[in-house]
Chains A and B, each alone.
Chain A
């Protein structure tokens, strides 16, 4: 059974640009959550999707958005990138709030 796949693995963007990250959950998993990890703030919850609906949202500005498709694949978008958005972005999937399976993450660097 394939694990959670995140693409791309690494990304370098310029301040002010926008970026889209992709997450393919484990087959059959309908819940997808996104997290941001930085050295200063640690792991922080961004949002959670279940069956194409955003079920929960963390304390991030509106520049961070996401969506989930009918096949449970999810994307997150960050607009007007700031230097502070440089982080490891992790996606995790589960059947429905059980133990989550994490992807390897996308490391975003904003220059």
Chain B
């Protein structure tokens, strides 16, 4: 079993829909990261969080430390949100462990 599990693996949405991507992990962590990767490889760090909730524009990330679960929400989705979204956890040993990613496609 992977230390970091993401769901769904693939997600297709219509423009304007509310999107949720989930991340569960099995190890103790000091922080959780959400990353976005566009075709061509470039990765952008969206959020780093260790508790509660963070919001940036149309993106919201939440984490529940007790349940070892995090969610990334996208409100009013747009085709430019199409990308791979990757959850990564920083273990207490400080190694960063990645989920397999969620491929999101938003259709207009």
Contact = CB atoms under 8 A, between A and B. Distances in A.
Contact of A55 (B44, B90, B94): B94
B interface: dominant SS:
strand
Interface in A10-66: 33, 35, 37, 42-45, 48, 55-56, 58
Interface residues of A, number: 23
Contacts of B76: none
Contact of B41 (A45, A58, A88, A101): A88
A56 B93 contact: yes
Given A104-B41, A107-B41, A45 B96 contact: yes
B59 interface: no
Contact of A33 (B86, B96, B99): B96
A92 to B, nearest CB: 8
B88 A43 contact: yes
Contacts of A92: 43
A90 B43 contact: yes
6 contacts: A35-B98, A43-B88, A48-B94, A98-B48, A104-B42, A105-B42
Interface of B: 31, 33, 35, 40-45, 47-48, 86, 88, 90, 93-101
Q: Which 4 A-B pairs have the closest CB atoms?
A: A43-B98, A102-B43, A99-B48, A99-B45
